[in-house]
């Protein structure tokens, strides 16, 4: 029988936990699977810890991880993934915006042959200051990463275990899980789901996440594409810059020579802006190139073969 692991990171969700647990249990008990529900209390300061202890005592399927303090949703997911034992892992927010009733449809989609199914909140019940930045975010991530999804950051996702074991998650990378999974060669798809307004409590994410999300995205793009060959990016840009600066200075050198030999009437070169531009470009070129070399060095010394590829399956004869 398949085992499902539900992983639910939460921060101050006292008004939602009992109902969430009840709804989850209703749905999960109809499935032909065994299951565990792992709540990760990300440093809640309300009544959540007590409610979780109660749920733990009353339901053997419940497990609780209490963080020492608030470490963020990504950390909560990672801790839950590590604690989980199931072949299939389901993540969900604790505020009942995601509907447990959609779990069977998400599982069915996974079984069509995918490694990760991301829920797509096609009709989002969130304030406009959240939906619009999110739309731009999704468009940007989809365009620049080449992963064609509508909704990257929905907390509701269904994974095969291999995915949760392989993708590197830190910072606030939970927003880019599909990109990281595709980067490892996993098959990722989406499924439109019902979305609800928050049942109780307040959102934990403000506008500050937009800029942090952008910086994180640049990191993720870099990690999934250029990290493997830093010099190919920085070395090329560095050479181009250095070359450009060199050409400018060469041109000025020719003029200087013409002037020195009295062959032509040209301005002295020392005070011309182009002179400074050329030197700047050359210095920038050297710096870019050295950054690439440093990148290659870091990569060389931190090289771990198992990070280089994800194996799907090995066929081998017993020796």
Q: Cβ–Cβ contacts within 10 Å for residue 1, how many?
A: 8
Closest CB to Mg ion among residues 13, 36: 13
Count of positions on this chain that bind Mg ion (CB under 5 A): 3
Among 4, 6, 7, 11, binds ligand UDP (CB under 6 A): 11
Name which of residues 82 to 101 contact ligand UDP (CB under 6 A).
Answer: 93-95, 97
DSSP class of residue 173 equals: G
Closest CB to ligand UDP among residues 155, 285: 155
The CA distance from 90 to 290, in Å, is 44
Among 9, 238, 278, 285, binds ligand UDP (CB under 6 A): 9
CA distances from 168 to 21, 72, 87, 266 (A): 29, 15, 19, 59
Which of these segments, 72-80, 220-228, 232-240, 309-317, binds ligand UDP (CB under 6 A)? 72-80
Closest CB to ligand UDP among residues 201, 245: 201
Among 14, 95, 151, 190, binds Mg ion (CB under 5 A): 95
Among 30, 50, 203, 276, binds ligand UDP (CB under 6 A): 203
3 state SS of 86:
coil
Q: Residue 201 CB, nearest distance to Mg ion (Å)? A: 9
10 touches, from ligand UDP, Mg ion, none (C-beta below 5 to 8 Å by class): ligand UDP
Alpha helices per DSSP H over the chain: 17-28, 48-58, 73-83, 103-111, 128-145, 161-166, 177-183, 209-224, 230-260, 273-301
Taking the mean position of all CA atoms in its chain, how far away is CA 296?
23
| Residue 134 within binding range of Mg ion, rule CB under 5 A | no
Cα separation of the two ends of the chain:
31
Among 187, 204, 229, 232, binds ligand UDP (CB under 6 A): 204
Alpha helices per DSSP H over 68-176: 73-83, 103-111, 128-145, 161-166
Name which of residues 212 to 271 contact ligand UDP (CB under 6 A).
Answer: none
The CA distance from 57 to 63, in Å, is 10
> What does the block give as tokens for 32?
């032909």
The CA distance from 239 to 96, in Å, is 53
The CA distance from 20 to 96, in Å, is 6
Closest CB to Mg ion among residues 44, 97: 97
Name which of residues 248 to 307 contact Mg ion (CB under 5 A).
Answer: none
Closest CB to ligand UDP among residues 148, 196: 196
Site string for ligand UDP, 136-175 (x = CB under 6 A): -------------------x--------------------
The CA distance from 187 to 113, in Å, is 8
Which of these segments, 142-150, 183-191, 201-209, 262-270, binds ligand UDP (CB under 6 A)? 201-209
DSSP class of residue 147 equals: -
Among 97, 138, 153, 224, binds Mg ion (CB under 5 A): 97
**Site residues (vs Mg ion, CB under 5 A):** 93, 95, 97
**Site residues (vs ligand UDP, CB under 6 A):** 9-11, 13, 42, 70, 72-73, 76, 93-95, 97, 155, 203-205
């Amino acid at each position: 029988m398949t085992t499902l692991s539900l992983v639910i990171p939460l921060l101050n969700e006292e008004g939602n936990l009992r109902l969430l647990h009840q709804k989850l249990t209703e749905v999960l008990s109809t499935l032909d699977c065994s299951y565990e529900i792992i709540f990760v209390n990300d440093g809640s300061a309300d009544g959540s810890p007590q409610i979780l202890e109660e749920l733990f005592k009353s339901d053997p399927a419940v497990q609780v991880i209490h963080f020492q303090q608030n470490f963020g949703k990504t950390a909560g997911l990672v801790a839950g993934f590590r604690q989980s034992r199931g072949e299939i892992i389901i993540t969900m927010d604790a505020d009942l915006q995601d509907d447990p009733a959609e779990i069977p449809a998400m599982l069915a989609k996974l079984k069509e042959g995918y490694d990760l199914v991301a829920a797509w909140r096609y009709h989002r019940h969130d304030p406009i200051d959240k939906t619009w930045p999110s739309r731009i975010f999704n468009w940007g991530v989809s365009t620049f990463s080449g992963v064609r999804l509508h909704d990257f950051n929905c907390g509701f996702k269904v994974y095969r275990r291999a995915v949760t074991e392989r993708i590197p998650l830190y910072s606030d990378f939970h927003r880019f899980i599909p990109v990281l999974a595709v980067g490892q060669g996993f098959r990722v798809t989406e499924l439109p789901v019902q979305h609800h307004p928050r049942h109780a409590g307040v959102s934990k994410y403000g506008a500050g996440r937009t800029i942090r999300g952008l910086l994180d995205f640049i990191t993720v793009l870099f990690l999934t594409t250029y990290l493997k060959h830093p010099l190919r990016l920085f070395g090329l840009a560095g050479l181009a810059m250095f070359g450009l600066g060199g050409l400018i200075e060469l041109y000025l050198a020719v003029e200087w020579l013409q002037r020195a030999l009295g062959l032509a009437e040209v301005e002295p070169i020392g005070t011309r802006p182009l002179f400074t531009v050329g030197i700047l470009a050359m210095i920038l070129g050297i710096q870019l190139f050295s950054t690439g070399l440093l990148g290659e060095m870091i990569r060389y010394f931190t090289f771990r073969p198992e990070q280089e590829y994800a194996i799907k399956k090995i066929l081998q004869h017993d020796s």
